[in-house]
Amino acid sequence: MRSVRWTIGSGLLPAALVGGAAAVTLAWRSRLPESLPNSGGVGDRPMLSTVGVDTLAGVLLGSALAVWVTGLLVFALTRRISGTGRHWLRLGAQVAVNGTAAASGTVLLMMLGAALDAPTAADVRLSWGYFAALMALPMVAAAVAGLLAYLLAGAAPPASPGTGSPTLARAAAGRDVPEQTVAAGPVLAAGGDERLLWWEFRALRPVLWTTGALALTGVLMVAVLVPLVGVVGWAGAAPAVSALAMVPFTRYRLVIDGEAVRVAIGPLRRRVPISAIAAAEADHLAVEDWLLRGMLRGATARDLPLLPGPALALRLTDGSRRLVTCRDVPTAVAMVNTLRARQA
């Protein structure tokens, strides 16, 4: 199943994006002038220079093909790398390939669509609204295609025993402290005068790889397209702009103290007061269930954890239930129950 997803994400999806843009270009060719405005021609600004339709199509589709071939090389060369590292490299390449193909195809089709049935380049006039859309829509297309490529990659394979990185989570009472069990669940054998604090801070590697791949793709596309096709080439910065928007979502933070359980990814923040918690228990939310719930309830639903995987389940006093992603769930469960017992 994993090989099928990689085949779709790295082969079939880019082929559909590049091939679809090429097919539409060929179908429209008889209705297009020989050249298009390259500088000027927006609003009431005079046209200063032109670029050939075939040249524009060749540069944009050629750039997408070049990135695609590079992605396939990355896919092939990573066979000798260990499972987890190979997954992240292939994921970054797959996102970059699909984001580039979507942005390039969108720019090309929007430029050609504005020139349909125009006798000459001088008859092609772009309104400022259309020009703004020409700058913005490739970014949206790159983001959508990149997200689809990310979802097709699936979750990283489990790490081999002993190869995982040490957790950043810590409890003041220590991870080897024996636990006691009460009606509300396990608690830590910590003295009443001990302060308990949980601080978990980690980088989200899939988002980091995706952000880096999009940023590099945008820089390369601008460097290639602007000298060749002029101002329109700046639309190639769409992947880089998408990468900037993703930067705040590259860190996950979980804090548990005597007042509340707080989680945050960038601007997405949630807080559950300790006084509102009846008990805590361990749970797990698979990636596919997390995606399905996100689509049905919205990604910001309060009963949906910000990330899939092992989760701290909080049963609230009002009968509802909240899931919080956590690395060391058993210790976090005992800690929350201990804090809740102290307030009882």
In a domain, 258, yes or no: yes
Greater model confidence, 15 or 86: 15
The predicted structure's pLDDT at residue 114: 86
Does position 169 have pLDDT exceeding 50, yes or no? no
- As a whole number, mean pLDDT of residues 15-24 equals 88
Domain co-membership, 103 together with 44: yes
In a domain, 181, yes or no: no
Kindly indicate the confidence band of residue 170, based on its pLDDT and cuts at 50, 70 and 90. Answer: very low
Report the number of distinct structural domains present in the chain: 2
In a domain, 151, yes or no: yes
In a domain, 175, yes or no: no
User: Which residue, 246, 268, 300, sits at the end of a domain?
Assistant: 246
Does position 185 have pLDDT exceeding 70, yes or no? no
Domain co-membership, 62 together with 105: yes
The predicted structure's pLDDT at residue 176: 45
Domain co-membership, 212 together with 268: no
The predicted structure's pLDDT at residue 183: 46
Domain co-membership, 128 together with 242: yes
Question: Percentage of residues in the chain with pLDDT exceeding 70?
Answer: 78
Domain co-membership, 303 together with 220: no
In terms of average pLDDT, the best of 221-235, 273-287, 292-306 is: 273-287
HSE of 180 in the Cβ direction (CA atoms, 13 Å)? 10
Q: Which domain holds residue 30?
A: 2-158+206-246
Greater model confidence, 301 or 10: 10
Domain co-membership, 84 together with 153: yes
In a domain, 284, yes or no: yes
Domain co-membership, 36 together with 115: yes
The predicted structure's pLDDT at residue 72: 82
In a domain, 182, yes or no: no
Domain co-membership, 38 together with 149: yes
In a domain, 31, yes or no: yes
- As a whole number, mean pLDDT of residues 179-194 equals 57
Q: pLDDT tens digits for 207-223?
A: 787 788 778 877 877 77
The predicted structure's pLDDT at residue 301: 55
Q: What is the pTM of this model?
A: 0.52
CA-based R_g, the chain, Å: 26
Kindly indicate the confidence band of residue 297, based on its pLDDT and cuts at 50, 70 and 90. Answer: low
Domain co-membership, 232 together with 307: no
Q: Mean pLDDT lowest for which of 3-12, 57-66, 114-123, 149-158?
A: 149-158
In a domain, 137, yes or no: yes
Average pLDDT, the chain: 77
In this structure, the chain runs to a length of 344
Domain co-membership, 99 together with 237: yes
Which CATH number belongs to the domain containing residue 299 in this structure? 2.30.29.30
User: Which residue, 221, 246, 271, sits at the end of a domain?
Assistant: 246
The predicted structure's pLDDT at residue 95: 86
Domain co-membership, 288 together with 140: no
**Alpha-carbon span 142 to 96, nearest angstrom:** 9
- As a whole number, mean pLDDT of residues 6-18 equals 84
The predicted structure's pLDDT at residue 168: 36
Does position 181 have pLDDT exceeding 60, yes or no? no
Place of tokens 């979502």: 249
Does position 231 have pLDDT exceeding 70, yes or no? no
SS (H, E, C) the chain: CHHHHHHHHHHHHHHHHHHHHHHHHHHHHHHCCCEEEEECCECCCCCCEEEEHHHHHHHHHHHHHHHHHHHHHHHHHHHHCCHHHHHHHHHHHHHHHHHHHHHHHHHHHHHHHHCCCCCCHHHCCECHHHHHHHHHHHHHHHHHHHHHHHHHHCCCCCCCCCCCCCCCCCCCCCCCCCEEEECCEEEECCCCCCCCCEEEEEECHHHHHHHHHHHHHHHHHHHHHHHHHHHHHHHHHHHHHHHHHHHHHCEEEEEECCCEEEEEECCEEEEEEHHHEEEEEEEEECHHHHHHHHHHHCCCCCCCCCCCEEEEEEEECCCCEEEEECCCHHHHHHHHHHHHHHHC
Domain co-membership, 314 together with 327: yes
User: Which residue, 246, 269, 301, sits at the end of a domain?
Assistant: 246
Closest CA to 70 of 216, 229, 225: 216
- As a whole number, mean pLDDT of residues 264-286 equals 85
Q: pLDDT tens digits for 31-90?
A: 888 888 877 778 777 777 788 888 888 888 888 888 888 888 877 777 766 666 677 778
